[in-house]
């Protein structure tokens, strides 16, 4: 397949990866009146985007540097792109899952008779463009800009249903994300610039120099790290997690791709990038603050799992599960052992594949069987076997059991925590895994093993399977989880290159 | 010929079309004449900006008398920048004014209104180009007097008290300026700014150090600074501003908020750099030590007060005070980066406040009032206006990809370059407050439902919406492609600072 | 004369202060205008004094007179007086309108009405 | 002798300023301001500024004071007592102001010192020595006002213009379709009852107008010029208005005509500048107006002084008209209200019976 892509130069691919979603958005708006052409163009844009990212991946594998400076509005605010392994991994995940989600969304939105589908698909595409730009950002400043762009582009998606709850959720969403990013993250970005004179992502970090020169104390750097961990509220580290459950009012494809994959991962991605490329692992290890932040993240992991257990609303349960899983990645980054950072990187992909499957399942249940609550799902597996089977695979991946990719990442994380000598973190990870067995696996178990409610509950008995596009999408993502279990090498190489930067 | 005289025509054209408007007498004709004049000024200003960028400082001897005997027009980059802002805002506001003025001002006053608008415009432009300290006072008074009329010409009686208070404080400010210039004149014997700057560095006749070290010059500087602070509405001398912006006709609020304070800031720069530059005013007086804290406290207090405003225009007015605080911080830092950030923020703030006030004007056109309770859900029925409002609001907060972000970024960077961590944190805190008040407006306009039984509302007329949208898109444009604006403001700052360097 | 020269300035300053005090302390709008005018007129006196040359004469060329006072401050103050009366006229007409619309020209009473409305 | 006059005048000024600060009566405050202005005009003469003295006397003592008095006539003379706290604050701020200024004076050259930069700077010599030769105009203020700093004067005219337009916009009477019913007593103006005054004052009007023309034309040689002439001309009309009532005056020179004249004066001034540009000179470079630069300068100065005179006369007249009309409407409405009240009071007992 490589030769097919060779003709495209890598710079073109880089720009095309950012532009094609935007072009897709424009097409979607232009073709709005014709739903088939509109959704088709959305799909095509997704595939093109993925191919572009693939081309970039090939270049990176071949050792070509992929970088580009776009423009500089004011000194210090340079918009530049540079692809490195972690960014590529994130971009691959996002761009691969986008066309799949689009496929799913086509079925979902039509079955759900949503209004303003054009607006929906257009903003969806814009968000993806911003996510890719974030993944490829060469410095903190452009990353911050993309980060905010994502917040704004997803806002219309969160408030899509345009009713009271949606707007209230939108307010919380915008308030928390905007407040933390302007108040904390921006401050952090500027602080880095003021201390180091640059915000460029550099292997080994840029802040070690100022510390050695005595320009800054460790305490200040610790505060700075805290600014990033809490400022990137998309990572949903407690106490800034409340926006995520609120965002669940959005249509399910949004929850699936954006609030399980793209948007939330943008948060943890930011933290990972900052830890690896701005602070540098060695520096973080010296900061006392990182232990403190570690325990905050650990607390988030456990607390989110506990809350998830008590949620009957399926999407909310998944949201809290996401909060917990995101903090795995934050933990991985803050443990600063090479294994844990690799595990964190890998977990971006593994959790993405698993959680998107779960959301697809939840959405399918909603549109087909009109079920929102876990307690209503008894016996439903018999009518929707494919959906629930995929759901089960997704659950396994989140829990970290074979045959899914989640196993590798969790293994690396636990290993890293062990090596770094953080016993309590190991315990927290194990407890949370056990809890997730309870709150996730119980669902497919219920669906397959419990008898279906009989006519006395007044449910209409037969509704058939989910729309076919939804089923295809679910199978694809569930397959991805399994594939990650079988062939993790490619991604593993990437994350290893991240922690061992010198070629 | 026009190129040669552009620097004077840009001011004189609107100044002379003003009496023409009165002669024409009819509102529509006056509007046409005013629009033509302002647009030609805009064209000339762009031409001048280009030339200043290429050739450096432009000079013009009024009456053919060489300075310091005669008055000199002297346009440097900072002046050209502010001139471009003023004319651009004027060019956008005038097409808008046609419908808005018809709705908000009695018909027999239209010609007078346009005459005063032109005079205000010409006065502001005169300030940007003049190289003579007293001529600056005259221009200042032309624009101020015209402003008092413009504010009070509408139908809201509260505008009368607002205009009166502005008249009192504005006159005090101008008189302070006059006193300052008098002191300087007494010590230098000249009124030409450059000549003043030169003499200030010379030794005194009695041989006791340079002229600028005299107590008289210090006192002059204090008067000039305080007088200008009054015009800038820097906290705590801002008391006149909220009511003026709130109760003036929409067009006037938009025009003034986008231009008047900017020009006043230019006056401050003239005082600090062009006149007193080599005297390094920042060493002579504790300007930085008072200005930065005042500005930051002003920004915080004004943002805080803005949250509790129930009137959209008042809310925006308080936000203007806060934003002026940001600009003052940049100037108070007395570094090139800070100055450049201030100038950049000047451009961007003109665009965003212009957008917001114009959008509010569109709403006033349809709804007739600006109390928040009365605007519930109005935005939903006026989609274009609310788009502009949201864009302007985001820019005001300083969301990336909008103009407001770029300048806030530059400002924060300048602040942190001097290691003022607390100031930076406070600026961000004030930004957070701005999320609250902007969010409140957007919430009321878009999220709340119209009260049951309210009459349906249409989008504002095309000729009002279009200029509003032009400015709104300016917010995006200057957020994404702001490198030119940033470069110009950087060069302008560099030029001003260089005047200080011996 | 040296001493008297300073006394002159200080008297001007006292005049300015009294005008400014009247302006600040008054709550009656007309009185504020009067105070402002006093303040400005005192500033004008100061300005004119800067142009005075000892033993100089009125700057109108006359046979047999060599030294004249500097006419520049005179010109400036001519302009400033005009500007001052223009502001005064505007201010007073604003007062008339305020009286029509509020029924009072006392600052407190006007503020009270605005708060209520 | 000079010193003695100086001291007396300053003492006068101080006591008037003090009296103005303490008086509770607005009428006396206004009159005190008028006197203050008159005495400062005298001081200007002592300080060699005769043009300024003339202007201050005409404007401060004349126009401003009259405007304040008319305003008071419709707003009333009552002043409510000032709260003590505010007075203390005001005093404190004024003292700070004064202290700053006194600090500033410490390094000033003493009054009248020939070493002062104001006199040593080359432009001072230029204005007093070169200018009369260059211009051929003995009064050094006139060319300085009209040519060297002619652009400031254009700005000043624009300010006057703005004030005129502003007053019109604020209290100018709209041409009503249904004029207020005219109360008989007001038809003929207040001087109706003072026939002697009226007959004698009437004789004064033509000389005043003539004098205005003289001042307008004589600015080159003695104190005077467009501005002073305009004010004097307007005061002649003002006298007419006082004698025959504002309605009558408005019929003699209609407000619409005045409005156009306001604009015309400014346009004449600016037009001269534009003509200069067209003739290839700089804006307001009158030397381009004729072959001989000095002639050009004279033409230019005469024309712009005329422009200034027209605008100033028209603006001051407009302002006085507007104020007087406003007062008249105010008084008339009050009279009408009183009369209605009286009628109601008369009719009510009958209806009660």
Is residue B233 classed as helix, strand or coil in its secondary structure? coil
A145 closest CB neighbour out of B401, B421, B425:
B401
Q: Can you tell me the distance from the alpha carbon of A15 to that of A70, in angstroms, rounded to the nearest whole number?
A: 10
In which band, very low, low, confident or very high, does the pLDDT at B395 lie, cut at 50, 70 and 90?
Answer: very high
Give the CA count within 13 Å in the CB-facing half-sphere of C15: 29
Q: What pLDDT, in 10s, does the model give residues A149-162?
A: 888 888 888 877 77
The verdict on a CB contact (< 8 Å) between B113 and D119 is no
Three-state SS for B355-373 is HHHHHHHHHHHHHCCCEHH
pLDDT higher than 90, residue B139:
yes
Is residue A200 classed as helix, strand or coil in its secondary structure? strand
**ipTM, two decimals:** 0.83
In which band, very low, low, confident or very high, does the pLDDT at D108 lie, cut at 50, 70 and 90?
Answer: confident
Partner C contacted by B155 (CB < 8 A): no
The verdict on a CB contact (< 8 Å) between D110 and C2 is yes
- Report chain B residues whose CB lies below 8 A from the CB of D271: 16
When comparing pLDDT for D79 and D74, which is higher? Answer: D74
When comparing pLDDT for A471 and B354, which is higher? Answer: B354
In which band, very low, low, confident or very high, does the pLDDT at D118 lie, cut at 50, 70 and 90?
Answer: confident
pLDDT score at B228 = 92
Q: What is the mean pLDDT of residues A433-442?
A: 85
Residues 6+ apart with CB under 8 A from A479: none
The Cβ of residue D130 has, within 10 Å, a number of other Cβ atoms equal to 13
**Comparing C-alpha atoms, which of D153, D143, D225 is closest to residue B142?**
D153
pLDDT score at D114 = 83
Q: What pLDDT, in 10s, does the model give residues A317-348?
A: 888 888 888 888 888 888 888 888 888 888 88
The verdict on a CB contact (< 8 Å) between C20 and D93 is yes
Q: What is the mean pLDDT of residues A244-266?
A: 80
B145 closest CB neighbour out of D123, D163, D170:
D163
Candidates C83, C86, C113: best to mutate against B (most CBs of B within 10 A) is: C83
In which band, very low, low, confident or very high, does the pLDDT at B157 lie, cut at 50, 70 and 90?
Answer: confident
The verdict on a CB contact (< 8 Å) between B171 and C46 is no
Distance to chain B for D344, nearest Cα, Å: 32
Distance to chain D for C116, nearest Cα, Å: 21
Residues 6+ apart with CB under 8 A from A148: A178, A181, B399, B400, B401, B405
Partner A contacted by B477 (CB < 8 A): no
Letter string b/e over residues B102-125, b meaning 16 or more CB atoms within 10 A of that residue's CB: ebbbeeebbbbbbbbbbbbbbbbb
Q: What is the mean pLDDT of residues C3-18?
A: 82
How does the average pLDDT of chain D come out, rounded? 84
- Tell me the backbone φ, ψ of residue A107, rounded to 5 degrees: -65, -45
**Is residue A178 within 8 Å of A151, Cβ to Cβ?**
yes
The verdict on a CB contact (< 8 Å) between D171 and C27 is no
pLDDT score at A68 = 78
- Report chain B residues whose CB lies below 8 A from the CB of D105: 216
Q: Can you tell me the distance from the alpha carbon of B260 to that of B239, in angstroms, rounded to the nearest whole number?
A: 16
- Tell me the backbone φ, ψ of residue B398, rounded to 5 degrees: 95, 40
Chains D and B touch (3+ CB pairs under 8 A): yes
Q: What pLDDT, in 10s, does the model give residues D143-172?
A: 888 889 999 999 999 999 999 999 999 988
Residues 6+ apart with CB under 8 A from D329: D173, D180
pLDDT score at D180 = 53
**B residues 24-83 near C, CB within 8 Å?**
none
B428 closest CB neighbour out of A144, A170, A186:
A186
Q: What pLDDT, in 10s, does the model give residues A379-389?
A: 777 777 788 88
Partner D contacted by C66 (CB < 8 A): no
**Comparing C-alpha atoms, which of A22, A88, A173 is closest to residue A348?**
A88
Distance to chain B for A25, nearest Cα, Å: 18
Candidates B26, B61, B63: best to mutate against D (most CBs of D within 10 A) is: B63
- Report chain C residues whose CB lies below 8 A from the CB of D146: none
pLDDT score at D353 = 40
Residues 6+ apart with CB under 8 A from A357: A390, A391, A393, A394, A397, A474, A477, A478, A481
Partner B contacted by A119 (CB < 8 A): no
**Comparing C-alpha atoms, which of D168, D167, D157 is closest to residue D266?**
D157
Q: Can you tell me the distance from the alpha carbon of D258 to that of D237, in angstroms, rounded to the nearest whole number?
A: 12
DSSP code, position B66: P
Distance to chain D for C115, nearest Cα, Å: 20
What percent of chain B has a predicted confidence (pLDDT) above 70?
96
Q: Is the dihedral of CA A245, A159, A89, A501 positive or negative?
A: negative
Q: What is the mean pLDDT of residues A267-283?
A: 86
Distance to chain D for C117, nearest Cα, Å: 22
**Chain D residue nearest residue B176, CA to CA:** D97
Q: Is the dihedral of CA B447, B451, B452, B454 positive or negative?
A: negative
**Comparing C-alpha atoms, which of B350, B342, B493, B349 is closest to residue B415?**
B342
pLDDT higher than 80, residue B261:
yes
Q: Can you tell me the distance from the alpha carbon of B294 to that of B287, in angstroms, rounded to the nearest whole number?
A: 10
The verdict on a CB contact (< 8 Å) between C95 and D75 is yes
pLDDT score at A222 = 85
pLDDT higher than 60, residue A456:
no
What percent of chain D has a predicted confidence (pLDDT) above 70?
90
Q: What pLDDT, in 10s, does the model give residues A36-71?
A: 888 888 888 888 888 888 888 888 877 777 777 777
DSSP code, position D309: H
Instruction: Note the helical H segments in chain D.
Output: 2-22, 26-46, 50-56, 65-75, 84-105, 117-120, 122-125, 131-135, 141-143, 150-171, 184-187, 195-218, 226-244, 246-252, 255-278, 293-352
When comparing pLDDT for B230 and A369, which is higher? Answer: B230
Residue C2's alpha-carbon distances to C5, C8, C9, D84, D110, in angstroms, are 5, 10, 11, 39, 6
pLDDT score at D192 = 57
Bridge partner residues of A137 (DSSP): A81
**Comparing C-alpha atoms, which of A183, A123, A157, A136 is closest to residue A17?**
A136
When comparing pLDDT for D176 and D128, which is higher? Answer: D128
Q: Is the dihedral of CA D234, D237, D241, D246 positive or negative?
A: negative
Q: Which chains touch D (3 or more CB pairs under 8 A)?
A: B, C
The verdict on a CB contact (< 8 Å) between C30 and D68 is yes
- Report chain D residues whose CB lies below 8 A from the CB of B179: 101
pLDDT higher than 50, residue D352:
no
pLDDT score at A392 = 86
The verdict on a CB contact (< 8 Å) between D64 and C85 is yes
Partner A contacted by B429 (CB < 8 A): yes
β pairing state of B58-61 and A77-82? unpaired
Lowest mean pLDDT, pick from A239-253, A278-292, A467-481, D166-180: D166-180
pLDDT score at D215 = 87
The verdict on a CB contact (< 8 Å) between C94 and B145 is no
**Chain C residue nearest residue B181, CA to CA:** C47
pLDDT score at A289 = 81
- Report chain D residues whose CB lies below 8 A from the CB of C67: 114, 128
Q: What is the mean pLDDT of residues A462-491?
A: 80
The verdict on a CB contact (< 8 Å) between B443 and A171 is yes
pLDDT score at A502 = 46
**Chain B residue nearest residue D279, CA to CA:** B1
B158 closest CB neighbour out of C73, C94, C114:
C114
When comparing pLDDT for B230 and A121, which is higher? Answer: B230
Lowest mean pLDDT, pick from A393-397, B223-227, C12-16, D181-185: D181-185
DSSP code, position D111: T
pLDDT score at C1 = 43
pLDDT higher than 50, residue D71:
yes
Q: What pLDDT, in 10s, does the model give residues A125-173?
A: 888 888 888 988 888 888 888 888 888 888 888 877 777 778 888 888 8
- Report chain C residues whose CB lies below 8 A from the CB of B168: 23, 32-33, 36, 91
> C-alpha A256: how far from its chain's center?
9
**Is residue A82 within 8 Å of A135, Cβ to Cβ?**
no
Q: What pLDDT, in 10s, does the model give residues B456-471?
A: 888 888 888 999 999 9
D82 closest CB neighbour out of C27, C61, C82:
C27
DSSP string over D260-293: HHHHHHHHHHHHHHHHHHHTTS-TT-GGGGSSSH
pLDDT score at B323 = 92
The verdict on a CB contact (< 8 Å) between A183 and B429 is yes
The verdict on a CB contact (< 8 Å) between D170 and B152 is yes
Candidates B65, B125, B170: best to mutate against D (most CBs of D within 10 A) is: B65
Partner D contacted by C117 (CB < 8 A): no
Partner B contacted by A364 (CB < 8 A): no
Q: What pLDDT, in 10s, does the model give residues B58-102?
A: 999 988 888 888 899 999 899 999 999 999 999 999 999 999 988
Partner B contacted by A160 (CB < 8 A): no
Partner B contacted by C36 (CB < 8 A): yes
Partner B contacted by C73 (CB < 8 A): yes
Residue that the structure tokens 């004066």 belong to: D265
**Comparing C-alpha atoms, which of B297, B293, B301 is closest to residue B332?**
B293
Q: What is the mean pLDDT of residues A176-183?
A: 85
pLDDT score at B502 = 45
Residue A173's alpha-carbon distances to A143, A177, A245, A251, C70, in angstroms, are 20, 6, 9, 15, 70
Q: What pLDDT, in 10s, does the model give residues D26-62?
A: 899 999 999 999 999 999 998 888 889 988 998 888 8
Q: What is the mean pLDDT of residues A230-238?
A: 83
B186 closest CB neighbour out of D108, D262, D277:
D108
Q: Can you tell me the distance from the alpha carbon of A326 to that of A320, in angstroms, rounded to the nearest whole number?
A: 10
Q: What is the pTM of this model?
A: 0.87
pLDDT higher than 90, residue A366:
no
The verdict on a CB contact (< 8 Å) between B187 and D103 is no
DSSP string over A135-146: HHBSBHHHHHHH
Q: B307-312 long-range CB contacts below 8 Å, 24 or more apart?
A: B307/B433, B307/B436, B307/B437, B307/B440, B309/B437, B310/B371, B310/B372, B310/B373, B311/B246, B311/B370, B311/B371, B311/B372, B312/B360, B312/B363, B312/B370, B312/B371, B312/B372, B312/B375, B312/B441
pLDDT score at A416 = 85
Distance to chain A for B394, nearest Cα, Å: 10
**C residues 3-22 near D, CB within 8 Å?**
4-6, 8-11, 13-22
How does the average pLDDT of chain B come out, rounded? 88
Candidates C37, C73, C90: best to mutate against B (most CBs of B within 10 A) is: C90
B182 closest CB neighbour out of C46, C95, C98:
C46
The verdict on a CB contact (< 8 Å) between A74 and B394 is no
pLDDT higher than 50, residue B22:
yes
Give the CA count within 13 Å in the CB-facing half-sphere of D267: 15
Q: Can you tell me the distance from the alpha carbon of B403 to that of B389, in angstroms, rounded to the nearest whole number?
A: 14
């Amino acid at each position: 397949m490589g030769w097919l892509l060779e003709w495209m130069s890598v710079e073109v691919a880089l720009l095309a990866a950012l532009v094609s979603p935007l072009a897709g958005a424009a097409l979607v708006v232009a073709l709005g009146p014709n739903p088939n052409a509109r959704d088709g163009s959305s799909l095509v844009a997704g595939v093109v985007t993925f191919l572009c990212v693939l081309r970039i991946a090939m270049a990176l594998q071949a050792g070509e540097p992929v970088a580009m400076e776009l423009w500089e509005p004011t000194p210090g605010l340079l918009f530049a792109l540079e692809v490195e392994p972690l960014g590529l991994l994130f971009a691959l995940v996002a761009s691969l899952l986008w066309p799949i989600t689009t496929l799913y969304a086509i079925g979902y939105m039509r079955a759900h008779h949503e209004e303003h589908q054009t607006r929906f698909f257009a903003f969806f595409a814009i968000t993806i463009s911003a996510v890719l730009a974030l993944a490829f950002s060469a410095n903190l400043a452009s990353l911050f800009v993309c980060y905010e762009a994502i917040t704004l582009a997803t806002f219309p998606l969160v408030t899509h249903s345009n009713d009271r709850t949606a707007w209230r959720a939108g307010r919380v969403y915008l308030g928390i994300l905007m407040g933390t990013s302007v108040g904390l993250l921006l401050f952090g970005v500027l602080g880095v610039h003021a201390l180091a004179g640059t915000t460029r992502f550099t292997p080994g970090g840029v802040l070690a120099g100022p510390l050695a020169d005595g320009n800054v104390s460790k305490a200040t750097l610790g505060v700075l790290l805290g600014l990033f961990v809490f400022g990137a509220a998309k990572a949903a580290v407690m106490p800034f997690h409340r926006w995520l459950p609120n965002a669940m009012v959005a249509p399910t494809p949004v929850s699936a791709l954006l609030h399980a994959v793209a948007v939330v991962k943008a948060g943890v991605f930011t933290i990972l990038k900052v830890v690896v490329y701005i602070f540098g692992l060695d520096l973080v290890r010296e900061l006392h603050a990182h232990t403190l932040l570690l325990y905050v993240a650990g607390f988030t992991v456990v607390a989110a799992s506990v809350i998830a257990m008590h949620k009957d609303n399926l999407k909310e349960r998944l949201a809290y599960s996401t909060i917990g899983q995101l903090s795995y990645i934050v933990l991985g980054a803050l443990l600063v052992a090479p294994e844990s950072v690799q595990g964190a990187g890998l977990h971006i992909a593994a959790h993405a594949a698993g959680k998107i499957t779960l959301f697809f399942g939840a959405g399918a249940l909603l549109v087909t069987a009109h079920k929102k609550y876990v307690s209503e799902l008894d016996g439903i597996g018999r009518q929707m076997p494919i959906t629930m089977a995929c759901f089960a695979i997704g659950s396994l991946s989140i829990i970290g059991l074979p045959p899914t990719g989640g196993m590798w990442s969790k293994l690396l994380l636990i290993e890293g925590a062990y090596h770094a000598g953080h016993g309590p973190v190991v315990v927290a990870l194990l407890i949370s895994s056990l809890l997730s067995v309870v709150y996730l696996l119980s669902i497919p178990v219920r669906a397959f093993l419990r008898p279906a409610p009989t006519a006395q509950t007044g449910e209409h008995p037969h509704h058939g399977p989910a729309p076919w596009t939804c089923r295809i999408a679910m199978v694809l993502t569930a397959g991805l989880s399994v594939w990650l279990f079988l062939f993790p090498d490619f991604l593993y190489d990437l994350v290893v290159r991240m922690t061992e930067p010198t070629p | 010929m026009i190129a040669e005289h552009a620097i004077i025509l840009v001011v004189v054209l609107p100044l002379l079309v003003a009496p023409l408007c009165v002669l024409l007498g009819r509102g529509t004709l006056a509007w046409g004449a005013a629009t033509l004049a302002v647009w030609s000024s805009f064209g000339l200003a762009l031409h001048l900006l280009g030339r200043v960028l290429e050739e450096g400082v432009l000079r013009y001897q009024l009456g053919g008398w060489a300075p310091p005997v005669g008055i000199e027009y002297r346009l440097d980059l900072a002046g050209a920048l502010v001139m471009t802002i003023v004319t651009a805002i004027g060019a956008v506001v005038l097409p808008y004014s046609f419908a808005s003025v018809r709705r908000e001002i009695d018909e027999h006053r239209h010609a007078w209104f346009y005459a005063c608008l032109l005079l205000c415009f010409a006065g502001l432009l005169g300030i940007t180009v003049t190289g003579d300290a007293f001529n600056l006072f005259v221009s200042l008074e032309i624009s101020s007097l015209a402003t008092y009329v413009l504010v009070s010409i509408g139908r809201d009686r509260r505008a009368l008290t607002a205009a009166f208070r502005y008249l009192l404080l504005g006159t005090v400010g101008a008189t302070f300026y006059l006193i300052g210039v008098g002191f300087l004149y007494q010590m230098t014997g000249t009124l030409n700014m450059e000549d003043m700057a030169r003499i200030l560095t010379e030794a005194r006749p009695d041989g006791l150090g340079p002229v600028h070290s005299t107590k008289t010059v210090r006192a002059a500087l204090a008067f000039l600074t305080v007088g200008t602070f009054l015009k800038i509405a820097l906290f705590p001398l801002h008391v006149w501003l909220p009511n003026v912006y709130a109760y003036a006709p929409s067009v006037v609020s938009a025009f003034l908020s986008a231009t008047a304070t900017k020009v006043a800031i230019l006056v401050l720069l003239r005082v600090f750099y062009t006149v007193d530059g080599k005297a390094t005013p920042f060493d002579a007086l504790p300007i930085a030590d008072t200005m930065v804290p005042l500005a930051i406290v002003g920004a915080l207090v004004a943002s805080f007060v803005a949250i509790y405003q129930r009137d959209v225009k008042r809310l925006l007015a308080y936000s203007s005070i806060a934003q002026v605080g940001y600009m003052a911080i940049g100037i108070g830092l007395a570094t090139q980066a800070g100055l450049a950030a201030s100038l950049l923020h000047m451009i961007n703030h003109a665009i965003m406040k212009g957008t917001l006030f114009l959008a509010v004007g569109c709403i006033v056109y349809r709804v007739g009032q600006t109390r928040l309770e009365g605007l519930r859900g109005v935005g939903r029925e006026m989609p274009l206006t609310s788009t502009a409002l949201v864009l302007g609001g985001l820019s005001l907060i300083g969301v990336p990809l909008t103009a407001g972000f770029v300048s806030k970024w530059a400002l924060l960077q300048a602040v942190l370059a001097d290691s003022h961590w607390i100031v930076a944190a406070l600026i961000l805190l004030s930004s957070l407050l701005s999320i609250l008040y902007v969010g409140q407006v957007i919430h009321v306009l878009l999220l709340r439902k119209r009260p049951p039984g309210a009459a349906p509302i249409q989008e504002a007329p095309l000729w009002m919406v279009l200029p509003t949208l032009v400015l709104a898109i300016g917010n995006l444009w200057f957020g994404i492609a702001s490198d030119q604006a940033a470069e110009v403001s950087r060069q302008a700052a560099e030029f001003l600072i260089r005047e200080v360097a011996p | 004369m040296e001493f008297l020269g300073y006394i002159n300035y200080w008297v001007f300053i006292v005049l300015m202060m009294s005008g400014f005090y009247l302006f600040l302390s008054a709550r009656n709008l007309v009185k504020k205008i009067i105070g402002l005018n006093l303040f400005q007129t005192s500033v004008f006196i100061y300005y004119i004094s800067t142009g005075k040359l000892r033993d100089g004469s009125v700057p109108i060329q006359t046979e047999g007179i060599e030294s004249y006072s500097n006419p520049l401050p005179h010109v400036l103050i001519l302009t400033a007086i005009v500007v001052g009366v223009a502001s005064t006229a505007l201010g007073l007409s604003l007062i008339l309108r305020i009286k029509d619309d509020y029924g009072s020209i006392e600052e407190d009473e006007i503020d009270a009405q605005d708060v209520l409305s | 002798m000079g010193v003695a006059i100086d001291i007396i005048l300053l003492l006068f000024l101080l006591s008037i300023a003090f009296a103005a600060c303490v008086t509770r009566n607005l009428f006396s405050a206004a009159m005190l301001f008028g006197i203050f202005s008159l005495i400062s005009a005298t001081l200007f003469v002592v300080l060699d500024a005769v043009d300024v003295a003339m202007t201050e006397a005409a404007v401060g003592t004349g126009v401003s004071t009259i405007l304040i008095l008319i305003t008071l006539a419709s707003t009333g003379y009552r002043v409510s007592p000032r709260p003590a706290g505010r007075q203390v604050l005001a005093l404190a701020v004024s003292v700070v102001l004064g202290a700053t200024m006194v600090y500033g004076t410490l390094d000033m050259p003493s009054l009248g010192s020939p070493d002062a930069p104001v006199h040593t700077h080359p432009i001072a010599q230029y204005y007093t020595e070169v200018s009369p030769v260059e211009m051929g105009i003995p009064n050094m203020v006139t060319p300085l006002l009209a040519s060297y700093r002619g652009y400031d004067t254009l700005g000043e005219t624009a300010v006057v213009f703005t004030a005129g337009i502003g007053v019109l916009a604020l209290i100018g009477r709209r041409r009503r379709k249904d004029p207020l019913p005219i109360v008989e007593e007001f038809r003929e103006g207040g001087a109706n009852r003072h026939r002697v005054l009226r007959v004698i004052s009437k004789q004064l009007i033509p000389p005043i107008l003539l004098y205005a023309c003289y001042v307008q034309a004589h600015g080159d040689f003695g104190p005077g010029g467009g501005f002073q002439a305009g004010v004097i001309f307007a005061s002649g009309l003002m006298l007419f208005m006082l004698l025959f009532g504002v309605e009558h005056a408005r019929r003699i020179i209609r407000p619409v005509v005045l409005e156009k004249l306001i604009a015309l004066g400014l346009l004449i001034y600016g037009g001269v500048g534009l003509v200069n540009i067209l003739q290839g000179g700089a804006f307001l470079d009158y030397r381009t107006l004729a072959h001989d630069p000095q002639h050009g300068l004279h033409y230019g100065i005469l024309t712009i002084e005329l422009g200034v005179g027209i605008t100033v006369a028209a603006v001051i007249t407009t302002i006085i008209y507007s104020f007087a009309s406003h007062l008249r409407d105010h008084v008339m409405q009050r009279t009408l209200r009183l009369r209605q009240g009286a009628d109601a009071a008369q009719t009510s007992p009958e209806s009660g019976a």
